[in-house]
Amino acid sequence: MLPAESESATRKWEINKTIDGFSLFDDDFMSVVFDRNIEATEFLLNTILERDDMNVTEVIGQREYKNPVIGGRSIRIDIYAKDSLGKIYDVEVQRADEGADVHRARFNSSMIDTRMLKESQKFKELHESYVIFITKNDVMGKGLPLYHIDRMIKETGIFFGDGSHIIYVNGNYQNEDSPIGKLVHDFDCKKSEDMFYPILAKQIHYFKETEGGCWMSSGHPLARTEMEWRASDHVQGGRRISGEMGRRKRA
């Protein structure tokens, strides 16, 4: 084998090894898995919202919301989803507690609201929105599987009812008899065979354990750029590669 071929083979092995270490708690990989995947996204939202009737119509991985203010901060959300009633869902995964700061949840919610109404629409036409953080650690520190945040009238204890919802999912919750416990267990798995939910295991198997999923013979628009960029970032010791993914500003 020529030196160049040997170096290429070594690099591919290193990238594959890094990808093997990914789980759904890695935001780029999670975005690839759920991008345009209606079935998996409906399952995820049904589990978190404790429902069984979600009707998702659109799912986009790594959707950018640009701030209309010059110099203002924009965001790129891991999973954007919309249902048949027009409700919007922003699902984020965070390994680090800092990335799940409560002010970030507030900011994401406000940015989503700015895209909902056209100039002539009335404020009451604003659809409900959900900002959901699936965190590796229990950032709220109370040992609960879910934390629901809704505005409330302080003096009466009655919900304000503005349609804005924030939910934190405790990724450290351990209870295999609980749907949330099984979900966060699966999010932390690196192999499909270790997962509870077949619908998630199927996605992990495809994107991590088949040649077609990993190296894009299927033609998926996000997987090769996202996964190889992320893996290369690890392989090169934190120095991002050149090209579009290396230049992209990440929120």
Largest CA distance in the chain: 76
For the entire predicted model, the pTM comes to: 0.82
88-91 contacts, C-beta under 8 A, 24 or more apart = 88/112, 88/116, 88/127, 88/128, 88/129, 88/130, 89/45, 89/129, 89/130, 89/132, 90/129, 90/130, 90/131, 90/132, 91/34, 91/44, 91/45, 91/132, 91/134
Q: Domain segments of the chain: what residues?
A: 3-246
Looking at residue 232, what is its pLDDT?
52
Q: Residues 75-128: pLDDT tens digits?
A: 899 999 999 999 999 999 999 898 899 999 999 999 999 889 888 999 999 999
In which band, very low, low, confident or very high, does the pLDDT at 3 lie, cut at 50, 70 and 90? low
Looking at residue 7, what is its pLDDT?
64
Look up residue 207 and give its two tokens: 């994107």
When mean pLDDT is compared over 163-167, 209-213, 217-221, the highest value belongs to 163-167
